[in-house]
Amino acid sequence: MKAFNRHSVVIGILAITVMASAITTIYARHESRRQFALLQQLTAERDELGVEWGRLQIEQSAWSAHSRVEEMARKKIGMRMPVTEEIEVVRQ
């Protein structure tokens, strides 16, 4: 009878170990899929931010273009090219 009990205990431990292994495998698969979905989401967000960054760089270059700065200086603060009589050369 003692051998039967020992055999039952070993089978019980193996069954619990197999169940724990199965549950761990299921959890690992679930976590892997969740992490992959997050990776896909973050990759899409990175791509969107890259497009926005490019657009902002183009916008910055348009706002800082020499012709635009000159136009704004003329309109907002009334700057103009000096006439010849207004130009003074300073020499040291």
Give the containing element (helix H, strand E) for 16. helix 2-63
Structure confidence by residue, pLDDT tens digits, 48-58: 999 999 999 99
The pTM of the whole model exceeds 0.85:
no
Report the amino acid identity of residue 42: L
Contact 26, 18 (CB under 8 A): no
Structure confidence by residue, pLDDT tens digits, 21-70: 999 999 999 999 999 999 999 999 999 999 999 999 999 998 888 888 88
User: Residues with Cβ < 8 Å from 79, sequence gap 6 or more?
Assistant: 73
Which sequence spans correspond to the domains of the chain? Answer: 2-79
* CA-closest candidate to residue 9, choices 21, 20, 17: 17
